[in-house]
Amino acid sequence: MPGEPDIASVAQAIGEPARAAMLLQLMDGDAHSARALAAVAGIAPSTASSHLRRLRDAGLVQATEAGRQRLHRLAGPEVAQLVEALTALAPPRLPERLQPDPPSGPLLRARACYGHVGGQLGVDVAARLREDGVVDDLAPGESGTVRTFDHPLLKALCISALPDARPGVRACLDWSHGTIHLAGALGAALFTAFLDDGWVRRRPGGRALRITGPGRRRFAELRIG
């Protein structure tokens, strides 16, 4: 008979400040080298290798070979959901030397959150789509479907259908604002379209996003924010 899940082993893997900083950086959804993650965590690259091995052994991170580099990313969306849940319960910041992003301003306004948009921008988009009946009023962690694609935001971004590989919509509790932003297939489609259409740009060295001039104009026209 199977025993109870060994959550202590996962908690121990996460519960070290350098490893926690690495996991937060990997929430941008990209793949990163050990050297880049070491810089984020404020540790030596040689030390980062052992931390990443611990995260891989716990099933939280996976590594792939890219030429002469080994790149690391979160092992899957269930790991991102775990990190999101922990951020909602955690104290506001790690110690200064371990902060994975620039101080709060840009990170709170808009950030990459494992393939979707978090921060105030993500919250504002979710609120508009809920108010206009595109998605249901979901509680954090709940999943749903897109009720209609007949909405000015979706039309402006040419989003008229979604893949079936994941829930259409999932409500993520946004740790920085205490309400939800949108994940799932719709959240991913919005994030991709925002980047492709130049409404947002990635800021170097972290998960924070910059809303561009054209993006600010379009969001204002669409009464978002």
Q: Which residues pair with 63 in a beta bridge?
A: 72
Distance CA 114, CA 142 (A): 17
- Proportion of the chain above pLDDT 90, given as a percent: 72
Instruction: State the pLDDT confidence band at 178, using cuts at 50, 70 and 90.
Output: confident
Structure tokens, 188? 């991913």
pLDDT in tens, 20-42: 999 999 999 999 999 999 998 99
Decide if 41 contacts 20 (C-beta within 8 A).
no
pLDDT in tens, 76-128: 989 998 998 888 787 655 555 555 544 457 888 999 999 999 999 999 999 99
More confident residue, 68 or 180: 180
The DSSP annotation for 70-85 comes to EEEEES-HHHHHHHHH
More confident residue, 22 or 141: 22
Q: Which residues pair with 71 in a beta bridge?
A: 33, 64
What average pLDDT does range 192-219 have in this prediction?
Answer: 94
Phi, psi of 150 (to 5 degrees): -85, 75
What average pLDDT does range 49-77 have in this prediction?
Answer: 94
- Proportion of the chain above pLDDT 70, given as a percent: 92
Q: How far lies 45's CA from each of 34, 48, 50, 73, 203, in Å?
A: 6, 5, 9, 16, 23
CB atoms closer than 10 angstroms to residue 1: 2
Domain edges within the chain: 7-93, 105-221
Ranges 6-15, 123-132, 170-179, most confident: 123-132
Assign domain 7-93 to a CATH class: mainly alpha
More confident residue, 156 or 175: 156
Pick the closest to residue 213 from 190, 189, 197 (CA basis): 197
pTM for the predicted model, two decimal places: 0.81
pLDDT of residue 51 exceeding 50, the answer is: yes
Q: Going edge to edge, which strands form the sheet with 32-33? A: 32-33, 69-74, 61-66
What average pLDDT does range 198-222 have in this prediction?
Answer: 94
